[in-house]
Amino acid sequence: MLEFIGRFHPVLVHLPIGILLLACIFILLSSKTKFASFRPVIPLTLLLGALGAIASCLTGYFLANSGDYEGKLVSLHQWMGIAVAIISLFLYVLYVRTKARVALNCISIFLIVLISITGHLGGSLTHGEDYLTAPLKSGGGKNQSAIPAIPNIQDAVVYESAIMPLFKSRCYSCHGSEKQKGKLRLDEQDFMLKGGKNGPAIIAGKAEDSELVKRLLLPLDNDKHMAPKEKPQLTENELTLIQWWINQGADFKKKFKELPQPANMKTVLANLANGNAGITESKVSEIPEKEVVQADVEVLKKLTNAGITIVPVSQNTNYLSANFINADFDQPILVLIPKVEKQLIWVKLDNKKVNDQVLAVFGSCKNLTRLSLNNSSITDRGLMQLTKLDQLQYLSLVGTKVSMGGIRTIAKLKKLKSLYIYQTNIKPTDYANLKKMMPNLTIDTGGYSIPFLAQDTIVVKAPAKM
Amino acid sequence: MTRDELNAYRLLKEAQQANAQLHSRRHFLKESAMGLGALAMGSLLGGCGSFFSDKQTKIAYDPAHPLLPKSPPFLGKAKSVIYLHMAGAPSQLELFDFKPELMKMDGQDCPPSLLAGKKFAFITGVPKMLGPQATFAKHGQSGALISDNLPHFSTMADEVSFLKAVKTDQFNHAPAQLLVHTGSPRLGRPSMGSWVTYGLGSENQNLPGYVVLTSGGSFPDAGKSVWGSGFLPSVYQGVQCRSEGDPVLFIKDPDGMNRDLRKASIDAINQANEQQYQEYNDPEILSRIAQYEMAYRMQISAPDVMNINDEPVYIHEMYGTQPGKSCFANNVLLARKLVEKGVRYVQLFDWGWDAHGDNPNNSLNIGLKNKCRSIDRPITALLLDLKQRGLLEDTLVVWGGEFGRTPMMENRNGIQNPFKGRDHHTEAFTIWMAGGGIKKGYTHGETDEIGYSAISGKVDAFDIQATILNQLGFDHEKFTYPFQGRPFRLTDVAGKVIKEVVA
């Protein structure tokens, strides 16, 4: 019950802060005759502020006793809060009794300073110590890597160079020296192994059984998921790092090179070395990050009436997907496409006659990420029109006449992730070359066959006797 | 007045009354009071995606163009779905869920702990346990266990995600099938394909958005309701096509009717319907007009896409099709062609998986093996063919039955069945999904050592529906349709996206 009342502290504190600041400003101003009319409200404002401060102190005390908070910062905040309450009450009595102008003004100024510091300490407790100044530091506070770049990664100590900075930026604000949510501290080895309410945070060698990892991997909408939903989340790289470190014995002294490094750690290590571990991999989105202006409704209507399936790829974006399944390329359509060239990102031109003119039109839709040309009439010459599509991630050329020569012209498309070339003029002997030319690409050459097995034709029959 | 005139008069009266009510003071006060209350409620309950908030997914329903494509609320990985339903419920214990412990118990009496308080469709008294009637091996890098009943599909182990702990609460075919496809074991709810086409429309306006293909010589037990549109506009019900003869019955113009005359008659009918619509404003009339127009276009497009004869020989060999006949393989090949042509949802039913052991065709050692042979090549070919055409990335393939089968041998009326067979079982069965943003080579969920009940990673029909909708870009909790005074959703009040299998 007391803890419940305590939780009103963060709401309640704002009342005395506001009211007392106002009262102090009134006191300071009302010493000028011009603002003398403020005087009558000053006692009431002061009294309300003082009462608010007392209530805040009480709730704050309950909250501090709930066990999640401990440390210097809390006791400092507590005593300064109590000071605010006492001084404001004293100020009220003084104002009602004496009206000693100079003393009142001095105490008011002192109170303003005291409230500001107390408030700041409270904010630091809730949001973490460097919350206020973080945006001023390099990186502007946002999308900042939790782990600074580690140039000589193999010679660096795992805990010191990677794990600790990560915990510091993502965990300490609630599980550090000032605050211990769930009675857990993650800022020192002993505390980690001792753990919190639910037992040890980490079990060396067993990432799956470690409470820390379990919580990190819970679905985001689970109440027990860490970091809390509204706080910055750990990235895939960071999660892999923590799991690897625990599985390798959670050693606080060893260097990277002293621990075995399985395949899935290779990219993580590379990212750690250049400080990119904080970038979420899956963010290579199919939709460009920058939103685009809405396409002209009239143009869309005309295209739809021409039998083209054209809609935004999802309700929260203006980027468009278009399927020309029932449309013919006549002049009017080709004139309309450039009007949506910024918005088009997915285009399907399967089974279409795509001459150079058509491809030139689509070749200048620079935001295209997916392009399907299955069984269309595209040739190597046509592919040359597509060299400017540097956002392209998916290209399907199944059943077309393109050959190795044409593919070479699009080899420079850096973002390309998957390429489908089943039933093209690219010969099986070229596949090895192709792989070498575009090593990061998933190339599906198709042509799968399913072997014939005896079992395919044997019909199982019931024994005759039955 | 004739009876028809009387009916028309009554309808008109009712419409006038309804219209008058909308303009009454009482209506205004009631609506505004309720509206304010609802607003307040909404802000109070806003956090949980309640019915009162405006967080519901908005679907723009245009009755005159019901199948025009629409955007999903968020970016989905899948654009179309192929659902392969093995009607009758295949035995997970002979296909994917290998239980060596069960082998040891083969022939023993079933322990009473497994029977206490349980009800089965046919088992009575104390049945004997029945060991796996197939040989299993690990396949692919993922090491998925697949039996020798599916030698070809075994090579696909690294393409699919297995859900091995699916549960249901229905042990009869029809209600269980309805639950899987409509979210309710009782009749009247829209099927998943209807929801999907209602929410997304279709890429191809010359074909239905939701096609149903059946094989195995019989309809699924739940009948056509299992692809019905329920309370959604009727245009979203599944269109059943045939792989033998005309793809759709009466699709050809009768002798003496040329296409111009057909067009003229459809135009005339539509004009009459249009007049009717002006009078009654019933959106179903617009749907009807749209359907006539689509039917006219389909006369040209459907025979083309539904004809598998022009596929090359190696494709026929790959799928193991039997052109000219009606079979599962033909339907699977058709499913690929339809998805290629922009059809949103293709639902296949293959009947004949109900291996009770009461006759040879319903036994684990004879009938089941034959059924497995008839699907093994086609499902393997489907995954490979979609893959090589670049379609598996955005086509979600789901395979499964409506429930599982018991680790006990069925003893109908207390007497051992003449052939090896298993009874209906609700507590655990296997379903797999592939493509459409689903993890490759992954297994979720586990059953106990005899495969009787699920012990981890339990999922149910609602979870699977939620996952399918999620892959298409819908939050299943917000995708609703107002009916009888409340918003309905496919997953009713349950369902959780199975995040473990989402890539």
Residue B39 scores a pLDDT above 60 = no
**Tens of pLDDT along A44-96?**
999 999 999 999 999 999 888 876 776 778 888 999 999 999 999 999 999 88
Q: Which of B68, B342, B499 sits opposite A219 (nearest CB)?
A: B499
**Tens of pLDDT along A211-221?**
888 888 887 77
Question: In terms of pLDDT, which residue wins out, B142 or A221?
Answer: B142
Q: Where does the pLDDT of residue B197 fall: very low under 50, low under 70, confident under 90, or very high at 90 and above?
A: very high
Give the integer Cα–Cα distance in Å for B378 and B321. Answer: 8
Average pLDDT for residues A130-159, to the nearest whole number? 72
Percent of chain B with pLDDT over 90: 61
Q: Where does the pLDDT of residue B475 fall: very low under 50, low under 70, confident under 90, or very high at 90 and above?
A: very high
pLDDT of residue B247: 79
Residue A284 lies in a domain: no
Are A317 and B75 an interchain contact pair (Cβ–Cβ within 8 Å)?
yes
**Tens of pLDDT along A294-308?**
888 899 999 988 889
A168 and A238 housed in the same domain: yes
Q: Which of A325, A446, A448 sits opposite B341 (nearest CB)?
A: A325
Q: Are strands B160-167 and B429-434 parallel, antiparallel or unpaired?
A: antiparallel
A192 and A304 housed in the same domain: no
Q: Are strands B454-456 and B446-447 parallel, antiparallel or unpaired?
A: antiparallel
Q: How many domains does chain A have?
A: 3
pLDDT of residue B47: 43
Residue A281 scores a pLDDT above 50 = no
Q: Where does the pLDDT of residue B46 fall: very low under 50, low under 70, confident under 90, or very high at 90 and above?
A: very low
Average pLDDT for residues B283-295, to the nearest whole number? 86
**Closest Cα partner for A361 from A380, A388, A325?**
A388
Give the integer Cα–Cα distance in Å for A255 and A154. Answer: 7
Q: Which of B72, B340, B499 sits opposite A315 (nearest CB)?
A: B72
> Mean pLDDT of all residues in chain B?
88
Question: In terms of pLDDT, which residue wins out, A139 or B345?
Answer: B345
A158 and A267 housed in the same domain: yes
Are B388 and A420 an interchain contact pair (Cβ–Cβ within 8 Å)?
yes
Are B69 and A374 an interchain contact pair (Cβ–Cβ within 8 Å)?
no
Residue A282 scores a pLDDT above 50 = no
**Tens of pLDDT along B97-131?**
999 999 999 999 999 999 988 888 898 889 999 99
Are A456 and B377 an interchain contact pair (Cβ–Cβ within 8 Å)?
yes
A303 and A256 housed in the same domain: no
Q: How far apart are the first and last CA of chain A?
A: 75
pLDDT of residue B49: 42
- Residue in B with minimal Cα distance to A220: B499
Give B363's contacts in chain A (Cβ within 8 Å).
462
A384 and A335 housed in the same domain: yes
A215 and A102 housed in the same domain: no
Q: How far apart are the first and last CA of chain B?
A: 66
Residue B55: burial class (beta carbons within 10 Å; 0-12, 13-18, 19+): middle
Go through chain A and tell me how many residues it has: 466
Dig out the tokens for B367 from the structure.
């009938």
Q: Which of B172-186, B306-320, B411-425 has the highest mean pLDDT?
A: B172-186
Residue A184 scores a pLDDT above 70 = yes
Give A398's contacts in chain B (Cβ within 8 Å).
388-390
Question: In terms of pLDDT, which residue wins out, B259 or A270?
Answer: B259
Residue A210 lies in a domain: yes
Are A450 and B74 an interchain contact pair (Cβ–Cβ within 8 Å)?
no
Q: CATH number for the domain including A375? A: 3.80.10.10
Residue A46 lies in a domain: yes
The identity of residue B190, as a single letter, is P
pLDDT of residue B51: 44
Residue B351 scores a pLDDT above 50 = yes
Give A372's contacts in chain B (Cβ within 8 Å).
390
- Residue in B with minimal Cα distance to A400: B389
Are A455 and B314 an interchain contact pair (Cβ–Cβ within 8 Å)?
no
Residue B311 scores a pLDDT above 70 = yes
Give A307's contacts in chain B (Cβ within 8 Å).
205
Chain B nearest CA to A422, separation (Å): 6
Chain A nearest CA to B370, separation (Å): 6
Residue A138 lies in a domain: no
Chain A nearest CA to B295, separation (Å): 16
Residue A11 lies in a domain: yes
A328 and A259 housed in the same domain: no
A83 and A200 housed in the same domain: no
Give A236's contacts in chain B (Cβ within 8 Å).
none
Residue B235 scores a pLDDT above 60 = yes
Chain A nearest CA to B404, separation (Å): 23
| pTM, 2 dp | 0.72
Q: What is the dihedral of CA A311, A317, A318, A323, to 10 degrees?
A: -30
Interface predicted TM-score (ipTM): 0.83
Residue A146 lies in a domain: no
Give B341's contacts in chain A (Cβ within 8 Å).
325
Residue B62 scores a pLDDT above 70 = yes
Q: Are A272 and A308 in contact (CB under 8 A)?
A: no
A91 and A21 housed in the same domain: yes
A329 and A412 housed in the same domain: yes
pLDDT of residue A392: 92
- Check residue A235 and report its DSSP letter: P
**Tens of pLDDT along B400-418?**
999 999 999 998 888 888 8
Tokens 């070395």 identify what position? A273
pLDDT of residue B55: 61
What is the torsional sign of CA B94, B98, B102, B103?
positive
**Closest Cα partner for B212 from B353, B315, B349, B351?**
B349
For residue A178, what are the domain limits?
Answer: 153-274
A390 and A342 housed in the same domain: yes
Q: Where does the pLDDT of residue B18 fall: very low under 50, low under 70, confident under 90, or very high at 90 and above?
A: confident
Residue A388 lies in a domain: yes
Residue A236 lies in a domain: yes
Strand, coil or helix: B412: strand
Give buried/exposed letters for B233-249 (b at 16+ CB in 10 A, else e): bebbbbbbbbbeeebbe
Give the integer Cα–Cα distance in Å for A274 and A272. Answer: 5
Give the integer Cα–Cα distance in Å for A304 and A302. Answer: 5
* Phi and psi at residue B366, to the nearest 5°: -120, -70
**Tens of pLDDT along B312-350?**
999 999 999 988 788 999 999 999 999 999 999 999 999
pLDDT of residue A89: 92
**Tens of pLDDT along A300-357?**
999 988 889 999 998 888 999 999 988 877 778 888 999 999 999 999 999 888 888 8
A264 and A331 housed in the same domain: no
Are A444 and B390 an interchain contact pair (Cβ–Cβ within 8 Å)?
yes
Give A455's contacts in chain B (Cβ within 8 Å).
151, 373
pLDDT of residue B80: 96
**Tens of pLDDT along A235-244?**
888 888 888 8
pLDDT of residue A141: 43
